[in-house]
Amino acid sequence: MSPFRLSLINPDNDDPDETVELDDDVVTELKQVVDSTPDLTMGDALREGVQHVVRARRRPEL
């Protein structure tokens, strides 16, 4: 399987764009979860994942 890449692009500033390759096994499991959950899109799943990481790892001073 070719790598699954997630690109973070912000055209409104000078921050460098970032592309991240995801592990094939994780992507396969994610696709299975999305496919078996009728009201969940891939975009929704990725947004939920990012929100989870932000909430779980946010430092109090932020």
Output the tens digit of pLDDT for each of the chain's 62 residues.
Answer: 567 888 888 888 888 888 999 999 999 999 999 999 999 999 999 999 999 999 999 987 75
Task: Determine the pLDDT at residue 9.
Answer: 86
Mean pLDDT computed over every residue of the chain = 89
Q: Is residue 46 part of a domain?
A: yes
Residue 59 CA to residue 22 CA, distance in Å, equals 25
Q: Is residue 36 part of a domain?
A: yes
**56: which 2 tokens?**
């779980």
Residue 25 CA to residue 48 CA, distance in Å, equals 19
Q: Is residue 57 part of a domain?
A: yes
Task: Determine the pLDDT at residue 35.
Answer: 98
Q: Is residue 35 part of a domain?
A: yes
Place of tokens 């094939």: 24
CA dist 10 → 16, 30, 42, 44 (Å):
8, 25, 20, 19
- The total of structural domains in the chain comes to 1
Q: Is residue 62 part of a domain?
A: yes
Q: Is residue 4 part of a domain?
A: no
Kindly compute the dihedral angle of the four CA atoms of residues 37, 43, 48, 49, in this order, to the nearest 10 degrees.
Answer: 100
Can you give the residue range of the structural domain that contains 44?
A: 23-62
Task: Determine the pLDDT at residue 5.
Answer: 87
Q: Is residue 37 part of a domain?
A: yes
Q: Is residue 1 part of a domain?
A: no
